Amino acid sequence: MEKLPLQVHHFSAPNSTNDVVHLAGGYQNIDSRQLTIAIPVALAAICLVGFAGNVLVVAVLINNARKGRTSMINSLILNMSVADLLILLFCVPFRAAAYSKPAWTLGWFVCKTADWFLQSCLAAKSFTIAVLAKACFMYVTHPSKPVQIKHQRIAALIISIWALAFILPVPHWLFATIRDQAGKVMCIFDSPERASSFMAVFAKLYPALVYCLPVMVTFLYHCKAFRRCKRRGSKTQNLRNQIRGRRLTVMLSGVSLAFAAMCAPEWVVWLWTRHAGRDGPSPPASFVLLSQVLVFSISSVNPLIFVAMSEEFKAGFVGLWKRLVFHKPQAPPDLPAAQSPQPSARSAPPSPQEENSVQVPDKDPAEENAESPTSKTANIVLSDMEQFWHDRQNAPASIEEDPIPWEHQSDVEASARPESGRKM
């Protein structure tokens, strides 16, 4: 395998008193074809995993908010997941495109905003993690105390975090430009001579404000929270709250530790490139690429930490997964008997199987007891007797055929007397 000439990272800046300018918008000095394919593929995988995980985290938190379970901690976790989604949507694709080309081809606007937007999102995450640590400590200190959450206060806090995060890295936007360096079009960070004093202060103060100070505050509050969790309460409810507080502290400590460890190489490169002299050694290309890939990997690691260390997120993820995979349309509720729809005349007649399946309602036991065998036989009308009484009423029979002639004897004698008188 051939050696990769990836050691050039600094360029001399013509018409400037600065000794060194550095690349912006991603490392653009990759001469290896294998790396120009492998790194974008790795970033694409990170983007897919991180996007799916953070979308699920946001969905779980929004579902909890709809159920009325809002809190300061959930709101801050939601803010951190939104920052991860912004990085995955608006930073990773452009970095992957920049790594796949040996020169800058994404235009002036992307060059101006690439580093500034990435640094803003990282600063917002850093500030959010620090505030999360303080909120965790407050919860562990008073776990059973009801906290009145004001949405205006949460919104003001989140807006302040993002405003500060967008303002602090403004020099990354001001001094990023496109230049022709070493025969290639590059996106570089080049500050003018009049801003040299400001950039000297900025190179020392910015990492302290955005990374060092928030990380120190975060771990200070986590240590205090762990110490508080060691105290045992006397009541069962206090023990349950302490267990929940300990689990919350462990989860947020894992998130904070992952952020601090995975961002550390990127800040080492950042400080190295801005404090190295013209003739000093530049950071190795492999270390630069690894540091930038680690920064983007944080966005896919956080959802995994939430699932591994939080039963609430685990249950929420499982519930959403079941709802997405096994979603079936719900049947309409059964109508009451009084409002049940009548069968229409156009409806098809029931099949013989359906007729056989119809069940006749049972009779009332009282009615069954009231009907004795004698009453049943008394109500039975024989067909022969019915025909006899019908013929007797409608067509009178002759004397010979009359089965009861004594009923008609008086009528026959009365009719015979007038005739006998006439003959005499």
Q: Name the more confident of 403 and 196.
A: 196
Tokens of 382: 């024989």
Which range among 25-39, 271-285, 298-312, 372-386 shows the weakest confidence by mean pLDDT?
372-386
**Cα 354 to Cα 110, 334, 341, 362, 423, distances in angstroms:** 71, 20, 18, 19, 80
Q: What is the pLDDT of residue 134?
A: 93
- Read off the pLDDT of residues 263-314 as tens digits, 9 standing for 90 and up: 999 999 999 888 876 667 778 888 988 999 999 999 999 999 998 888 878 8
Residue with tokens 């009049």: 194
194 C-beta neighbours (distance < 10 Å), count: 8
- Mean pLDDT over the full length of the chain: 76
pLDDT category of residue 160 using cuts at 50, 70 and 90:
very high
Tokens of 121: 């999102």
What average pLDDT does the segment 318-343 reach? 58
Q: What is the pLDDT of residue 413?
A: 54
Give the CA count within 13 Å in the CB-facing half-sphere of 223: 6
Number of residues in the chain: 424
- Read off the pLDDT of residues 124-145 as tens digits, 9 standing for 90 and up: 999 999 999 999 998 888 766 6
Q: In whole angstroms, give the CA distance from residue 319 to residue 298.
A: 25
3-state secondary structure of 181: strand
Q: Kindly tell me the burial class for residue 88, based on how many C-beta atoms sit within 10 Å of its own C-beta (0-12, 13-18, 19 or more).
A: buried
Domains and CATH numbers, the chain: 22-325 (1.20.1070.10)
Tokens of 372: 């004795």
Which range among 83-97, 120-134, 388-402 shows the weakest confidence by mean pLDDT?
388-402
CB 303 within 8 A of CB 56: yes
State the pTM of this model.
0.71
Q: In whole angstroms, give the CA distance from residue 156 to residue 103.
A: 42
Give the CA count within 13 Å in the CB-facing half-sphere of 162: 12
Q: What is the pLDDT of residue 172?
A: 93
Q: In whole angstroms, give the CA distance from residue 306 to residue 200.
A: 39
Q: Among 166, 85, 93, which residue's Cα sits nearest to residue 123?
A: 166
CB 157 within 8 A of CB 124: no
